[in-house]
Structures are given as structure tokens and as C-alpha cells.
Chains A and B, each alone.
Chain A
């Protein structure tokens, strides 16, 4: 079944089946031509006259005190125009989020991971900058380091921050530790739940840290002038965030900074923070010239992004009829060098795809000598789902129930309590389960020798602040300006919603991502929020415009505005005494009816719709080498409403494949001395085209009542199920359950060999 057929077979999306003219269609995206022609400008593509190249020197040690930094040799090197170290930046407060951000951008007295930025140089050429950075002499006093959760949580572990005391423990600890926070969610009485159970399964799982793996390394160009103003061209998921964070790190007023969003070459959460912009800004200020910094791939792996590894212990009880009675979970997540909230998110997600009367979930956020965690698609949810859905699969096997039926049997519905507090709004988990159950894939017999696995996944999605400005041009076209960087086709979705509202051909609408000075504040493109929240702002601005258009028509016709309706892109006179006025006719005449037409909406979007995905895979396993081959894969996901189904499918497929990579071969490998051993794509193994089958998609549409078109975010949840899907499929193929990821050939063969003896 082709992707399109699969999508169409759900019957609700695509080509106006829902009653929409534009929403649900698949126009060529507006920014597409530049991208296939090689003209689109990403941050590294910009060169300015007189521009210098910046190069950042990074720590070769995972934990050390910086005794001294001698930059004199570097400053004397050819082409060098500026050198900065931590001492050139404002002092960081003793603790808190600001300190963590400031000290991630550049180390102060201590380096906390191999790859931590220590100093930087700006020079006339890349090679001069690199040579000079390497000539900076840093004297380190080595400190003991910790690289994994168990070691970091041990009583005698070397402590990263002597002012970090575990939050969420009563009474508050008096000794500092690497456990930044403890989170607990509970309901009912788990002991009672276990007493009611016929079977109890208890397992321990581990996952490894992985990288978002965007193909575009972090890059920026910063031009600071003599009046203290800075223009930043950034590759980022949120240019307003680049502005505020850069200002925070430099102690500048935000109004000194203008950020221009370049095209962004992938982010997946990893470009929701900053690393290099303040460094380039300071170098540019010192040198009085624009400065470009482009990270090497090695730096990207060593110093940005990882999504955390985790250890999760699960104990789940169920009755013989498949009812899950209770779950007890213990989760510990890596945070990297500074505190994050990975475990808290994991706790919120771990049992969310199931109705439970009794649960106890306890999580620990752990700091260690690795780069700081950054969001990666549905952060923390994949590891949590790996644990829970592996156990659920075992329960299905033990009670002899189809794994989808068992999930339907335990599926939460609207009004049920979520594990983390509020009640579920309208959700589409059951519909996703049914879509997979009824799919051609699930209905087809499993080819001999293969194994089949299913799993489900949950992610919250978020709303937050967005702004949009819609201007109608004199020729009847429209420009839609938003503040959401387009990381996967969201401009096309903005144009489609505007087209639907205004009744204008989508090709007459130009969607634009505006810089920080032309459009209102907009939060980072994260949490699957762009089409949801920024889309809401676009719709609101368009509705405002429709009001204005009706008024202009009323003025032209000299009638009451109540007599004017807006139908299919034209003002229609209710009583029928006037010929309809097209949008172009009104804008063409706008000077005479009150001037140009434009509208702006800024809002805090509420009511983001929770997202669910259910997936199935068939795999084969080479029993002699442990290699796993994905033979077939199908994913169902609740999109609410698919505004542009092709890009919804694209998000689903991309998330699935990232999850497959995480499950099978991706992992951060550190040497004992704390250095990353695989900081390149040859040994950090993201899936390549020949590793995969087509990823079949079923878009499920359970509209989100809080959005004018029913949109839920679609960007993230797809990455959640593949981890347990792969583990369950391998278990089905081999009869051996593996609870540690990745399922790389050595690990699988080891498990098979152990099971044999």
C-alpha cells in the first residue's frame, strides 16, 4: 500500500474530504524552489565583506579546573583579529538557569565535559583561526569525572557542582550530590494493584545517549557595530530565543540585538538553545568586523545536543484478562553537565498510554561529565516507552492476548485522569490502535522467519506565544509573516490556513519567516507547536482581515456591514443587490476605502492536543551475526487535522527513522578518559537509505477542539514507539528479550548466545 493510499484510506484527510478547500491539500511548498535550486541561504551560506572566521578551542578533558589561559601566542599569529576567553564574558551567577546557559557557552573556572568551549579566536581565514585557537595555552588541573548514571549517583561519586542539592527530597539534603532533582507521581495504592494482579513483571532497562543528528552543523554570522548593535544571522529553531539568550549571556539589553532567521538545516529540538552566537558577538565587537562561526561535525557531536541515556526499572501487574492493574517505575536520566528536567518528563510520559488506577513513578535527574542535554523530539518519552511497552508486550504474550487488543483494552479516553494530573481532553490513541490493527500490514501474515513488534507512544505537545502579521497586497495577494522558523514545511501550512480563511488561492499567498524586528514575539519552534500555535495566530489575523474586508465592501456598497458576507474569497451582498467583490477588487480599491489592509495577531496558544502514535514493524534477525533488518514498517499517528498531509507524513516518517536509529545502532561511546570516541557519521551510525523499507503512514484525524482547524502538533511523537517496536519485533523473531539499547549486532548476538547456553 502506498503512503498516499494509506493516508486516504483513513478517509478524513486530503483533498477537501473534510469540507475544506485548501486545508488537507498538498501544494508545492513556497520555499521549495530555492531549496532544489541550491539558492536557499542557510547561516553558513552567508559571507559579508570583511568577515572574519571564528574558531572555538574546546576542552580535551571531561572535568578539570582551568588554572590559567595564555592567549599571547595566539594573538601574535598571522591574521588574528580578536581572542576571547571566559574572562571576557560577564560573571555568571552562582547557580540557576542563567549560570548554566552562560557556562555552557563558555567555561569559566571549570570545564565539565570534553568539548566544553574554553576560548575563541577570530581571524581572516578559517585556517588561521584554527591554527591560532590551537596555539592558546590552557593549563588544566584534572578532576575526577563521572560518565554514567550509576557512577554519578554513587555515594562516593565526584561531585560536579558543590552547590547542587537534590530538589524534591524531604528533608533537603545537607550534602551536595549529582542528583539534581527527584520527581514523584502517584495515584491509588500500588501494593493493592499488585495484589489484584495475576501476573507481575519486573524488568530493568537502559538506553544510551544519542544525538539529534541534524545534517547542518550549528552556524552563525554576527555583525556588531560601533554603537553596540548586533545583527545575528542564525540557524535556529527560535530567533527570538537567540536574541534573549544571547542578551542574557552577554548581559546586554535585548534591543541591541536583531536576529535574522536563516534557513535551518534540521534541529529536532537540538537548535532550541544557543552555543556560538554570544562568542561570535564578542569576537565581532572586539574586532569591529562581522564574524562567522561554523561548528565542525566533531564539535557538533562533542559539544551539542545529546538526548540523555536512561536507566528505567519497571514493575507492572496485570490480570489474566489483560487488564493492567498497576505500574511502579523508577527512572534515572542523564542531564549532562548541568541540571535539566529529563527525568521529570520521563515520569510524566512513562505510563501515559494506559489507564491505571494505581501507579507510583519516581524519577531522578542526574548530572555528569557529558555535554548538556538538549531537547530531541518528544524528549525523554522514547526511553520511557521502551521500558513500559516492552513490559506490556510481555504481558500480552503471557496472557495470550493480541498486543493491540491488550492496548485497546487498557486505553485511556477523554475525561480519564492523566498520570501527571489533569484529565485527558479528546485524544486519538484508540483510533491509532485501531488504524494499525486494521492496516494492510497488521492484517498480512508475517513472512516466515521474521518477527513482528508493535508499540504506542505519547507526547504532550505545547502551545506558547506566537505572532503573525498578514498583509493584503494591492493586487489581491497576501503576505503571511510569522516568527516561527520553518523546520519542516510549516510555511506551506501557514499559507494553507490563510488560504482557507481568506478564500484565496494558496499560491497567491507568500509565507515569510520574519526577523525579530518585523514580527511580534514568537517562542521557539518546539513541542510540535508551529502549525498549532503560530497557525492559530495566522487564522486570527486572517479573521480580523475578513472583518476589515467586509467593512470595505460595505463602504463601497454604502450598506450595513451586517449585510456583507465573506464567501470563497469574495464579499457577497446578502440582499443580493450588488455584484460580489473579489478580494483583489477590494485591495485594488483600498486607497479609496481607508488605506491598505493588514492585521496582526499575537497570542498565547492554549489547548495543545496530546499526540499519540502506534506503530508496527516486521524484522528479520541474522541469528549468527545478530544483525537486525527492518523489513516492513507502518506508523499511525493522530494529527488532529493534517493541514498539508505530505509534510505530516514527512514528520511521521522522519521521527520513525530516527527512532529506528536509536533502537538499532546509535549511541554515544565514551572512552574511560571521558572522550567521545565516535564524533562523526562513520561511527555514529544514523540510518542510511539502504537500511530501510518504505515507511507506510496512516494519518489519523481526531480534531483538537482547541484549534480552529483541529490541529495537533505532529512533529515529535513519531520517535517514541520505534524503540519498543524494534525490541518487541526482535523478541518475536528470536524468542529473546533484550532490555538494553541499542540492539546492535554485538549486543543481539551476545543475548542470543547467552540464551542458548
Chain B
């Protein structure tokens, strides 16, 4: 079976991988690149667990054919922290107990980053609607929404 060679940038690193054309970017990230942060909760765009930012836009990696990533720049949850510091969203999620089982967490972090990149001072309602494509069955969203709002404050007013 023939496989396609894909070159792209993931979390700032130039990477390449081979993939069957019909595979999803999600499976390529997880199986070919070992980036297991993005999860498959549904495979059909409904849960957001696979969220990545590709070329500046928040998308479901399960809906992207892997060859589409050729030439693209992708950010996954693994790319949020710097060498010595977590991203404020990650820190606020930890301190705010915004995760229970944690399977949805990488997707929420990426979706929340996409939101705050565009809207650094969202209202609670804006946060809730921006995160509506990410399902969490454990938390009831309360602590997630609070943590995103808190991270927004921290990003706007660095210590």
C-alpha cells in the first residue's frame, strides 16, 4: 500500500511522516509522531478531544485528512508549555481542578488558547460558547470555565 510523505511544522519543530491518504491527522499525530495529547473521543467532529490549531485556526484533527497537513503549522497541547513554565491555561486548570479524568483536557486547553488568542477578555458566556465544541462529561464545565476566565486575567496582567 502506498503511503504519502507529509512535511509540516508541529509545535515549532519541522517534522515529517508517512501516512495512508485516508488516515486522519489525529491518527498521524498520535501514531506516527507519538503526540498522544490529542485524543479521539468520537472521530466525527462532535467532542473536540482532538482539537489542534492548524495554520492559526482551531480544528478537529479527526476531520482532517493527514495529507492536508503538508506545509501546515500545527499546535497541539504538547506545544503549550515552555521549557521551564506551563502555559497560564495549564497552570490555571491544575490549580482550579478543571480536570477530573483528564481525557478532554488537551482539547479544552487548545480551544481555550484559540479563544484567548482572539479575545483576551471574554465574558463567561463567550467562554461557554467558544468551548461548546468540547465535551466534558466529568466536570459539568464549572471549573473549566472558571479556570479559563482566571487564565485570561493572568495573561492580560502578567505578574
Interface residues of A (CB under 8 A from B): 3, 26, 28-29, 31-33, 35-42, 44-45, 47, 78, 125-127, 212-217, 263-268, 294, 296-297, 487-489, 646-647, 649-651, 653-658, 680-682, 686-690, 692, 694-695
Contact = CB atoms under 8 A, between A and B. Distances in A.
Nearest to B76: A38
Say whether chain B's binding surface is mostly helix, strand, loop, or mixed. Answer: loop
B135 interface: yes
Given A37-B78, A217-B40, A647 B100 contact: yes
Interface string B79-105: 011000010001001111101111111
Given A37-B81, A265-B103, A216 B140 contact: no
B140 A489 contact: no
A296 B94 contact: no
13 contacts: A36-B109, A125-B20, A215-B47, A216-B103, A647-B97, A649-B143, A650-B97, A650-B100, A651-B100, A653-B143, A654-B138, A681-B46, A688-B132
A36 B78 CA distance: 9
A26 B98 CA distance: 13
Contacts of A31: 102
Given A36-B105, A487-B100, A694-B145, A42 B39 contact: yes
B139 A654 contact: yes
Contacts of B86: 33, 36-37
Given A127-B20, A654-B139, A42 B44 contact: no
Contacts of B124: 694
Nearest to B86: A36
Contacts of B106: 36, 38
A367 B98 CA distance: 39
B28 interface: no
A692 B36 contact: no
Contacts of A296: 43
Nearest to A213: B137
Nearest to B44: A680
Interface in B98-119: 99-106, 109
B143 to A, nearest CB: 6
Given A654-B140, A658-B140, 16 more contacts: A32-B94, A33-B94, A39-B36, A126-B27, A215-B49, A215-B101, A266-B103, A297-B46, A489-B100, A649-B143, A650-B97, A651-B100, A653-B142, A686-B135, A689-B132, A689-B144
A354 to B, nearest CB: 28
A215 B135 CA distance: 7
Contact of A28 (B95, B103, B135): B95
A36 B143 contact: no
A402 B127 CA distance: 36
Interface of B: 1, 20, 22-23, 27, 30-31, 35-44, 46-47, 49, 76-78, 80-81, 86, 90, 93-97, 99-106, 109, 124-125, 127-129, 131-146
A36 B139 CA distance: 15
A130 B100 CA distance: 32
A39 B105 CA distance: 11
A45 B36 contact: yes
A266 B49 CA distance: 13
Contacts of A294: 40
Contacts of A489: 97, 100
B127 to A, nearest CB: 8
A37 B135 CA distance: 19
Nearest to A656: B140
A690 B137 CA distance: 14
10 closest Cβ pairs, A-B complex:
A38-B37, A265-B103, A657-B140, A35-B102, A646-B97, A653-B140, A681-B46, A38-B77, A36-B90, A45-B36
A32 B93 CA distance: 9
B142 A265 contact: no
A425 to B, nearest CB: 28
B78 A38 contact: yes
- Quick one: which of B40, B140, B143 has the most chain A CB within 10 A? B140
Contact of B140 (A212, A214, A692): A692
Contact of A215 (B38, B41, B44, B96): B41
Contacts of A45: 30, 36
A694 B142 contact: yes
A656 B38 CA distance: 27
A688 B135 CA distance: 6
Contacts of B102: 31-32, 35-36, 40, 263, 265
A186 B79 CA distance: 61
A373 to B, nearest CB: 18
- Quick one: which of A41, A656, A686 has the most chain B CB within 10 A? A686
Contacts of A36: 77, 86, 90, 93-94, 99, 102, 105-106, 109
A686 B36 contact: no
